[in-house]
Amino acid sequence: MRSLFFILSVFLLQSCIVVQLSGYKSGYEKLSEEEKSRIVILEEKSSIRQLSTSDTIYKIKADQLLRFMESEDSVVVHFWSPHCSSPLCYPIDYINKSYQAKGYTLIVITDYFDMETIKTQNLDGLRYPLLAVNNEYYDIDICYKYHERFVLDLLKHDKQDVEELALYSRHLLFSKGKLVKTTIVLSDT
């Protein structure tokens, strides 16, 4: 009888447990209306070049970023995760200063929306505002899936034709819209 009670308790309590994982989904649904108003889909006719730094986060498609990069000698696309605790993850300001010192144009794409963590970042030195993948265009709200689709579009390849390192790298270096190098380590660019 006691073991039956224990088993029933475990099954009932298990259904009450809610797990929230930061970074599994975009996080957009959890945002307040005010926070959602700061996230705007970049219009097709608009150019990243025309954007100035602001509190607005622009959701983009890969082709919009490619159009921007075609006229740039060296652009680093950095995928930033608000809750990344790896020793390979750095604050945006540190990344920006590192790439500015090397003469690179930096584009920072947040993997998902955590406005509290984003607010703690110093974005003042960025030349362009914080960007995000337009997950609505890719028709999915799961981070790694829309990230994959975005990078595949950016590289203009099918998944089987792309090295895994390129697909999941934090730093992608482009010249005139062509991929030059991928790395997960900041110092390797």
List the one residue out of 161, 2, 15, 187 whose CA is nearest residue 101: 187
Q: Per residue in 129-173, pLDDT tens?
A: 999 999 999 999 999 999 999 999 999 877 777 777 778 889 999
Tokens read off for 156: 């203009």
Whole-number percent of the chain with pLDDT over 70: 88
**164 phi and psi angles, rounded to 5 deg:** -60, -35
- Within a 10 A sphere around the Cβ of 90, how many other Cβ atoms? 17
Question: Which pTM was predicted?
Answer: 0.85
Q: What is the pLDDT of residues 109-123, one digit of tens each?
A: 999 999 999 999 999
| Residue 4 resides in a domain | no
pLDDT surpassing 50 at residue 174: yes
pLDDT of 18-59, one tens digit each? 344 456 888 888 999 999 999 999 999 899 999 987 889 999
Which range marks the domain in which residue 42 is found?
Answer: 23-188
DSSP one-letter string for 50-73: G---SS-EEEE-HHHHHHHHTT-S
Which of 97, 104, 115, 119 lies closest to 172, judged by CA? 104
DSSP 160: G
Instruction: State how far the alpha carbon of 151 is from the alpha carbons of 81, 159, 167, 183, 184, in Å.
Output: 16, 10, 6, 14, 14
**Domain total of the chain:** 1
pLDDT of amino acid 173:
95
On whether residue 119 sits in a domain, the answer given is yes
Note whether residue 11 is domain-resident. Answer: no
Q: Is the pLDDT of residue 89 over 50?
A: yes
Q: What is the CATH number of the domain that holds 83?
A: 3.40.30
Q: What are the beta bridge partners of residue 182?
A: 172
120 found inside a domain? yes
User: Residues 177, 182, 186, CA angle at the centre, nearest 5°?
Assistant: 115
63: amino acid identity, one letter? D
pLDDT tier at 17, thresholds 50, 70, 90 = very low
Q: Looking at the domain assignment, is residue 54 inside a domain?
A: yes
**Residue 81, in any domain of the structure:** yes
Supply 119's token pair: 């607010």
Residues 6+ apart with CB under 8 A from 179: 155, 166, 172, 173
pLDDT at residue 152, as a whole number? 94
In a domain, 98, yes or no: yes
Whether pLDDT at 10 is above 70: no
> Is residue 124 a part of any domain in this protein?
yes
Four-residue CA torsion sign, 31, 41, 81, 127: negative
